[in-house]
Amino acid sequence: MTRYAFVRLTNANAEIVARYLPSNYRVTGQDEQNVYIAGEDNAGWTLDGYVIPRLGSGLIVARETFA
């Protein structure tokens, strides 16, 4: 199942967000306000258990969304 999240551009840009992501998640786009992330959970590399907390360690706030 593909999971989705977004980051407000006030926190980071697409290039910075991509540096924090494991290989099973990727930046899928960017508009004037947000950077969009999508990927599949794999073992311990989950959106809520790894990706969002890792972004948070860089003071980047991500929120899950549902397509």
User: What does each of the 67 residues of the chain score in pLDDT, given as a tens digit?
Assistant: 899 999 998 878 999 999 999 999 999 999 999 999 999 999 989 999 999 999 999 999 999 998 6
- What pLDDT is stored for residue 67 in this prediction? 66
Question: What CATH number is given for 2-65 in this structure?
Answer: 3.30.70
- The C-alpha atoms of residue 32 and residue 49 are separated, in whole angstroms, by 28
- The C-alpha atoms of residue 30 and residue 10 are separated, in whole angstroms, by 12
- CA 38 to mean position of chain CA atoms: 7
- What pLDDT is stored for residue 65 in this prediction? 94
Q: Where are the domains of the chain?
A: 2-65
- What pLDDT is stored for residue 3 in this prediction? 96
- What pLDDT is stored for residue 12 in this prediction? 83
